[in-house]
Chain A
Amino acid sequence: MLSAQDMQEAAAHGRSVKAIYVYEAPVRLWHWVNALAITILAITGYFIGSPLPSMPGEASQHFAMGYIRFAHFAAGYVLLVGFLGRIYWAFVGNQHARQLFKLPIFNPRWWREVLFELRWYLFLEPDPKKYVGHNPLAQLSMFFMVTLTMVFMICTGFALYGEGAQDGSWAHTVFTSWVIPLFGQSQDVHTWHHLGMWVMVLFVMLHVYAAVREDIMSRQSMVSTMLSGWRLFKDDKP
């Protein structure tokens, strides 16, 4: 890692590095917009699968399911546009912007650090390491639980959306036309889309816990880094 090297060199020259700018503004903005979109998508999605109790009266007086579905679709569009923007930023942003999309799987040192992080979480390592970007274990879990899950949810989600938008709509052309035949029929796509939501819920639970825990127990800032972009280090040791 270049920045880690920079840091070591800086340390070797007798200068301590207190803070490094890691997450650029578009990455931070995406993170929070995405978090909001996922929250709305998970809640509305749950209520699409298990709707709220019925309301009495004329159908023309209500639009409950309509509003819930509208919120779901709107948040879905936000998620899609955000994701495309995030992919763009992976190309033009700094190296940390690429961590979500590229795993250094051929780097043995990276794998050793994954193992180290696992041991740290299993209380087998007394002291944590310093990382500028994501720690390798976090990167691994984000790649599988965020990047891949999001791709899966976008494909299945917009395939289901395209069913309602119907033949000729962009969603039908781009997603529905191949996703539904791939699964065989629409019912299975619904089920898998639903399971994908729960994978995302599991990720959010682990993610929030790990971020808060590391903020307290690691040697660098976590939560505030996603607000300010600056990674602050708590000590001068390498």
Chain B
Amino acid sequence: MTETFYEVMRRQGITRRSFIKFCSLTAASLGLGPSYVGRIANAMETKPRTPVIWLHGLECTCCSESFIRSAHPLAKDVVLSMLSLDYDDTLMAAAGHQAEAIIAEIKAKYKGNYILAVEGNPPLNEDGMFCIHGGRPFVEVLKETAADAKAVIAWGACASWGCVQAAKPNPTRATPIDKVISGKPIVKVPGCPPIAEVMTAVVTYMLTFDRIPELDRQGRPKMFYGQRIHDKCYRRPHFDAGQFVEAWDDEAARKGYCLYKMGCKGPTTYNACSTTRWNDGVSFPIQSGHGCIGCSEDGFWDKGSFYDRLTGINQFGIEANADKVGATAAGVVGAAVAAHAAVSALKRGRLEQSDGDNK
């Protein structure tokens, strides 16, 4: 029998008091009422740890980097143990065949009862040869491992949308995992990387309640991706007042005005950065004076410059955007109308002349 979370925590020297604090913090971060603290504690005390297999496809490991920096010490020290993270290429001690044997073992032992966390995505071109995992194309390992999983977590923009390796022209045909895995509930936790606390909270929710959190239409947990950065941005008053940074070195930038005109993607990005923030709540991009780049949105690499308000429409030239395209079209139509009006006037003038001649 696998140990419960509580047993692992105690074994690691976590006091009962710290454990209860962790439970209340988790309840708060999940947006649950105080009555859930007891339920979380109870679940942790009684439930066997759910094994997690963490696979890495085409990615940069920024999700893992973020995850292990989860601010709350218990998250860092315990969630990893509590997860029973049985397989993770970058974190585990085992290597080679020994490591690969673990996947097979978990698949057999916990069939239909483990969580598959995927960082990165499989490239499909050349039969998946652009990403090899243990001597085999990653896409094969992914499909196999997902087949017996209870649920799948898509970590980061890579697994959720494709991210930079899927940016145009996507030479390896990197494909988000939900296009490859079918028949399994998939929780998308996009971001490049996702916020550490969001990652640990999603895992904790799934372990505690034995179900996946409520998702929106695009498969993201509503509790963290239900609002835009813009909706909770501390610079929002400057937006509403119409006070914008116009250049990186102007007075407005020093005063901390809204970065909307500098191409901040806060108004179009769903994430918890402006509420949860990063690195133990120290800051987030906008607070540090740089606009949001929209890293948790689908295809954010292909939406023009990070520093443009209006998305570039490069089919009409590299500098074009909706306004330039529209204004050009309006100019052409305006010129056509003027020319047409001139010809019409000439024609009418001649008509009136001939009418006059007839009379």
Contacts and interface: CB of A to CB of B under 8 A. Distances in A.
Nearest to B239: A65
Contacts of A191: 310-311, 313, 321-322
Contact of B244 (A54, A178, A197): A54
B248 to A, nearest CB: 14
A217 B227 contact: no
A64 B241 contact: yes
Interface string A39-60: 0000000100111111110011
A194 interface: yes
Given A51-B242, A51-B260, 13 more contacts: A50-B323, A54-B252, A62-B241, A65-B239, A164-B231, A185-B297, A187-B294, A187-B300, A190-B310, A198-B322, A198-B325, A205-B330, A213-B340
Query: Interface size for chain B: under 10, 10 to 19, 20 to 34, or 35 or more residues?
Result: 35 or more
Interface of B: 216-218, 222, 226-228, 231, 237-244, 246, 252, 257, 260-261, 265, 267-270, 294, 297-300, 303, 309-311, 313, 321-323, 325-327, 329-330, 333-334, 337, 340-341, 343-344, 347-348
A51 B241 contact: no
A54 to B, nearest CB: 5
Contact of B222 (A65, A167, A186, A205): A167
B323 A59 contact: no
A59 B243 contact: yes
Contact of A190 (B268, B299, B334): B268
A121 B244 CA distance: 47
A46 to B, nearest CB: 7
A62 B310 contact: no
A187 B309 contact: no
B45 to A, nearest CB: 34
Interface residues of chain A: helix, strand, loop or mixed (majority): helix
A1 interface: no
30 contacts: A51-B242, A51-B261, A54-B243, A55-B242, A59-B237, A62-B241, A65-B239, A167-B216, A167-B226, A180-B218, A181-B218, A185-B297, A185-B299, A185-B303, A186-B268, A187-B294, A187-B303, A190-B268, A190-B310, A191-B310, A194-B323, A198-B322, A198-B330, A201-B326, A202-B333, A205-B337, A206-B333, A206-B337, A213-B340, A216-B348
A14 interface: no
B322 to A, nearest CB: 4
B156 to A, nearest CB: 16
A153 to B, nearest CB: 13
Contacts of A52: 242
Contacts of B303: 185, 187-188
Nearest to A52: B242
Interface of A: 46, 49-56, 59-66, 68, 121, 123, 163-164, 166-167, 177-178, 180-181, 184-188, 190-191, 194-195, 197-198, 201-202, 205-206, 209, 213, 216-217
Nearest to B228: A163
A209 to B, nearest CB: 5
A180 B311 CA distance: 16
Nearest to B270: A186
Nearest to B313: A191
A6 B221 CA distance: 63
A216 B227 CA distance: 54
Contacts of A163: 228
Contacts of B343: 123
Contacts of B333: 202, 205-206
Contacts of A64: 241-242
B242 A65 contact: yes
B242 to A, nearest CB: 3
A121 B252 CA distance: 53
B352 to A, nearest CB: 11
Contacts of B267: 186
Contacts of B329: 198, 202
A45 to B, nearest CB: 11
B311 A187 contact: yes
Nearest to B243: A54
A184 B302 CA distance: 12
